[in-house]
Amino acid sequence: MKIAIIGSGNMGGGLGKLWAKANHQVIFSFSRDENKLNHLAKSAGLNATVGSLEEAVSQSEIILIAVWLPALEAMMRSVSSWENKIIITCVSGLQPDFTGETIGIQTDFKISVAEKIQQIAPGAKVVEAFNITFAEIVASNSRQFGEDKPTIFYCGDDASSKAIVAHLIEDCGYSSVDAGELKIARTLETLATAWVQFAVSSQLFPNIALKVLQR
């Protein structure tokens, strides 16, 4: 798959490296530091390149959006077309010090971040994923916790897009669980907030993960 990483910070950069290692073609983009992007692509190997925001989106089938929330809307509206793209979002409403509401993230959108992305890009297929893991786990040598794989929940309205995202989750070393329609992103974003705050307050951050047990 051809994957654009929009927001090549710790989370975006880490996932991009894992997908490049899994033989996907990755384009890193949208950073204030061009040298950082070039270093990231070089460290990711031969399957990774750097491009402008427009180049990354137009040349890719899948777009990971991992930007700081205040930059989200302006970034999206600056792209000429999101038509038929699969957008994976892990954008968080949490502040850098992890403050935030545990009963619903407070944003100006009045809906989930994922649903806002769908409103801005109605021709895209939006999937919420990767918001219940930490960049430190993504960047580690393995996602394994002993014999266990952490769980990543995902949700969206397009079945074929969700199936692709499930494979990408598993390519990163996680187990994938379909949480339902895109409106469930409201719950997943709230769960992610509570999860991060618990990890910090319990002093277990970042070396913990969630796992769904199934009989």
Q: Do 128 and 154 meet the contact criterion of CB atoms below 8 Å apart?
A: yes
Above 70 in pLDDT, residue 134? yes
pLDDT for the residue 100: 54
The owner of tokens 């992890």 is 98
211 occurs within a structural domain: no
pLDDT for the residue 93: 73
Interval 134-158 mean pLDDT: 96
Question: Largest Cα–Cα distance of the chain, in whole Å?
Answer: 48
212 occurs within a structural domain: no
pLDDT for the residue 107: 56
210 occurs within a structural domain: no
Which has more confidence, 92 or 35?
35
Which DSSP symbol is given to 31?
-
Above 50 in pLDDT, residue 26? yes
Long-range CB pairs of 195-201 (<8 Å, 24+ gap) are: 195/132, 196/92, 196/94, 196/98, 197/98, 197/100, 197/102, 199/134, 200/98
Interval 185-206 mean pLDDT: 90
146 occurs within a structural domain: yes
pLDDT for the residue 99: 60
CA 188 – CA 155 distance, rounded (Å): 9
Q: How far is CA 53 from CA 26, 38, 39, 96, 112, in A?
A: 13, 14, 17, 24, 24
pLDDT for the residue 102: 43
Q: What percent of the chain clears pLDDT 90, i.e. is strictly above it?
A: 79
Interval 174-201 mean pLDDT: 92
Interval 90-117 mean pLDDT: 70
What total number of domains does the chain contain? Answer: 1
209 occurs within a structural domain: no
**Which CATH number belongs to the domain containing residue 44 in this structure?**
3.40.50.720
Instruction: Using CB atoms within 10 Å of the CB of residue 104, give its burial: 0 to 12 exposed, 13 to 18 middle, 19+ buried.
Output: middle
In degrees, to the nearest 5, what angle opens at C-alpha 17 toward C-alphas 13 and 19? 115
Above 50 in pLDDT, residue 157? yes
176 occurs within a structural domain: yes
Phi, psi of 122 (to 5 degrees): -65, -20
Q: What percent of the chain clears pLDDT 70, i.e. is strictly above it?
A: 93
Average pLDDT, the chain: 92
Confidence of residue 109 (pLDDT cuts 50, 70, 90): low
32 occurs within a structural domain: yes
CA 203 – CA 211 distance, rounded (Å): 19
pLDDT for the residue 94: 72
11 occurs within a structural domain: yes
Which has more confidence, 151 or 192?
151
Above 50 in pLDDT, residue 81? yes
Range of the domain at 84: 2-201
CA 150 – CA 28 distance, rounded (Å): 25
- DSSP result, 105-137: ---TTSS-HHHHHHHH-TTSEEEE-S-SS-HHH
What are the beta bridge partners of residue 6?
29, 65
